[in-house]
Amino acid sequence: MPQTETVFYADDDGTAPLLEWLDRQDRKVQDKCLVKIERLQELGYELRRPEADYLRDGIYELRVRHRSVNYRMLYFFHEQTAVVSHGLTKEDVVPDREIDLAVSRSAQFDRNPERHSYKE
């Protein structure tokens, strides 16, 4: 099975919200999150619970737990590319505002993938 291209969503200023969020997390959380992103690259659309789950409106979550805290990274697909939007610390459920933000970013990405793909 070929690898799924995975990119980080970039805001208009070129920054990647997911990477900024990751930088604020403990090293162990960062490592666990990077493993989940690698699994997304390996499996793409085939990645399922408990590692990932579909939320709504084309938005999925990568699921990480460290100690008693649930971390989530929201992503969507553009053609065959997985685009990781941003991360959050989950409460009881992923808040609608976070899913709506990912939906908005998906629409922006669809209009201009080149502009909204993070480049190092």
Residue 120 pLDDT:
78
Q: Where are the domains of the chain?
A: 6-111
Confidence (pLDDT) at 56: 97
The CATH architecture assigned to 6-111 reads: 2-Layer Sandwich (3.30)
Say which residues have a Cβ less than 8 Å from residue 98's Cβ, sequence separation at least 6. Answer: 72, 74, 86, 88
Residue pair 25/66 in contact by the 8 Å Cβ criterion: no
Full-model pTM: 0.95
The chain-wide mean pLDDT, for the chain, equals 96
pLDDT digits (tens, 9 = 90+) for 58-110: 999 999 999 999 999 999 999 999 999 999 998 889 999 999 999 999 999 99
